Amino acid sequence: MQAKTLKSDLLLLLIAAIWGGGFVAQRNGLEFLGPFTYNGVRFALGSLSLLPLVFLNRRRQAPYHGALPQGGRRALLYGGLLAGGALFLGASLQQVGIASTTAGNAGFITGLYVVIVPILGMFWGQRPSTGTWLGAILAASGLFLLSVTEHFTIGFGDLLELIGAFFWAGHVLLIGWLSPRLDAFKLSAAQFAVCSVLSLITAFAIEHITLSAMIAAWRPIGYGGLISVGFAYTMQVVAQRDAHPAHTAVILSAEGVFAAIWGWLFLNEVLGTRGLLGCCLMLTGMLCSELWPLVLQLKSRASTA
């Protein structure tokens, strides 16, 4: 079992590295395509890449756990529209914002959803732990150092990434409610398709789309659609079968670290001392928020020993 857990943790670390690289691909994609065109094409690829899994999994339905019929077409339609709408808003803000900020900043600020999720959970009657509040304070302090200038202004791109983090958090909450009620692969393919359609509608309205530009952007499109969306999501499902729940969120929060590393390697992005300190505080806040229940559990075991 320990070997399986270690294997899953290493797979989750690979996923975090892939998602971190996705921010570099998104920056590169903007050299050829508008933000909505890029998102529309890459999420279409992501949805199509899941179709074989949808067909292979159609006879292995999970047991029914909620008010929506498992795999029902109407439930899938509503779920896909809700999740896809939230995904569209988060991805759009992220892609537009990344044009005005670095891949590292985008990765760390987007990762704030780890702290935002339990805070938004208060509206559903959930009480954030002390660790969540401590993590939020640390993350907010780090965000200030990373994004707010000496003149107390915040860059436009960083502001969009911050707003987008709230939509990513809302998306996580929606998926948490929908996933026990719907087939995971069908829901994912549906939400990616909805996000793609909304992005392409917006692109046709405000952007100039050419086939030559899409062909020129095949590398960032392929990475963003097939690897970052299709492959990484599928591997996440596989990894979480044996991964410890506390490990999953903590390891995936390294996405921002990898975004900064890949941005430095491939985009020549450099963080100053202030930015590095901000990133460290944000990462500490994310880890604090996720590891606090584990700390309390260990403390309880020690007191009863």
* 202-228 pLDDT tens trace: 999 999 999 999 999 999 999 999 999
Terminus-to-terminus CA distance in the chain, angstroms? 25
- Do 213 and 32 touch, CB atoms closer than 8 A? yes
Each residue's pLDDT tens digit, 3-51? 777 788 788 889 989 999 999 999 999 999 999 999 999 999 999 998 8
> What's the token pair of residue 150?
């000496």
- H or E stretch covering 194: helix 184-206
Residue 154: count other Cβ atoms within 10 Å of its Cβ.
14
Who has greater pLDDT, 231 or 148? 231
DSSP-assigned beta bridge partners for residue 154: 148
Question: Looking at per-residue confidence, does 144 or 246 come out higher?
Answer: 144
pTM metric for this prediction: 0.84
Alpha carbon distance 119, 114 (integer Å): 10
Q: What is the pLDDT of residue 68?
A: 46
**Mean pLDDT throughout 90-109?**
93
Which among 167, 158, 45 has a CA at the least distance from the CA of 106? 158
Find all residues with CB under 8 Å of 131, minimum gap 6, and list them: 288, 289, 291, 292, 293, 295, 296
Residue 109 has pLDDT above 80, yes or no: yes
SS3 204: helix
Do 52 and 180 contact (CB within 8 A), yes or no? no
3-state secondary structure 29-46: HCCCCCHHHHHHHHHHHH
- Closest alpha carbon to 148 in 189, 186, 109: 109
12, 255 Cβ separation under 8 angstroms:
no
280 by DSSP, 3-state: which? helix
Closest of 284, 297, 283, 186 to residue 244, by C-alpha: 297
Give the domain ranges of the chain. Answer: 1-15+36-54+71-304
* Per-position DSSP letters for 212-274, written without gaps between them: HHHHHTHHHHHIIIIIIIIIHHHHHHHHTTTS-HHHHHHHHTTHHHHHHHHHHHHH-----HH
pLDDT (0 to 100) of residue 289: 74
Of all residues in the chain, the percent with pLDDT exceeding 90 is 39
Residue with more model confidence, 252 or 222: 222
List the one residue out of 62, 34, 67, 21 whose CA is nearest residue 237. 62
Per-residue pLDDT at 166 exceeds 50: yes
Least confident of 49-58, 72-81, 205-214: 49-58
User: What are the tens digits of pLDDT across the range 83-97?
Assistant: 999 999 999 999 999
Radius of gyration of the chain from Cα atoms?
19
Catalogue the E-assigned strands of the chain: none
The residue among 126, 120, 106 whose CA lies nearest residue 259 is 106
CA 299 – CA 305 distance, rounded (Å): 10
The predicted model gives 100-109 an average pLDDT of: 90
Closest CA to 227 of 85, 26, 54: 26
Instruction: Determine the pLDDT at residue 144.
Output: 86
Task: Establish how many alpha carbons lie within 13 A of residue 101's alpha carbon, considering only the half-sphere containing its beta carbon.
Answer: 30
Inter-residue long-range contacts of 171-180, CB under 8 Å, 24+ positions, other chains counted? 171/83, 171/86, 171/87, 171/90, 172/113, 172/117, 173/117, 173/120, 173/121, 173/124, 174/82, 174/83, 174/86, 175/83, 178/68, 178/79, 178/82, 178/83, 180/62, 180/65, 180/66
| Residue type for position 48 | L
pLDDT-based confidence at residue 286 (cuts at 50, 70, 90): confident
